[in-house]
Amino acid sequence: MSGRELGSFVIAADHPCLPGHFPGRPLVPGVVLLDEVFALVAADPGMTGRVVGGLANAKFLNPVRADQRVMVRIDRTVPNRLGFSCSVAEAEVLTGVLLLGEPA
């Protein structure tokens, strides 16, 4: 993905979502990955005056395990949409498009 690097995050091994997803071989649930992406986008100074209004699509390409650093890139190619991609050690793990809106 072109665009720019937004930031990164790590889900720690003691995160409460991991013990039940899946016992003995924990994977970070997709909803947790998306929540982290949403938080990075919302905190981005370039998003002043905009809010994430929804998710147009998301594709989970590879699993993410606890304590792996997830790098996030964004690319605004069309108005009111923001493409994103997440990678772990150069391997793409998640791609998608966020819908942008005006604050209420």
Q: What is the dihedral of CA 48, 58, 69, 29, to 10 degrees?
A: 120
pLDDT of residue 77: 78
Going along the chain from its start, the domains and CATH numbers come out as 4-101 (3.10.129.10)
Q: What is the pLDDT of residues 57-83, one digit of tens each?
A: 999 999 999 999 999 999 987 889 999
From the number of C-beta atoms within 10 Å of its C-beta (0-12, 13-18, 19+), residue 82 rates as: buried
pTM, full prediction: 0.92
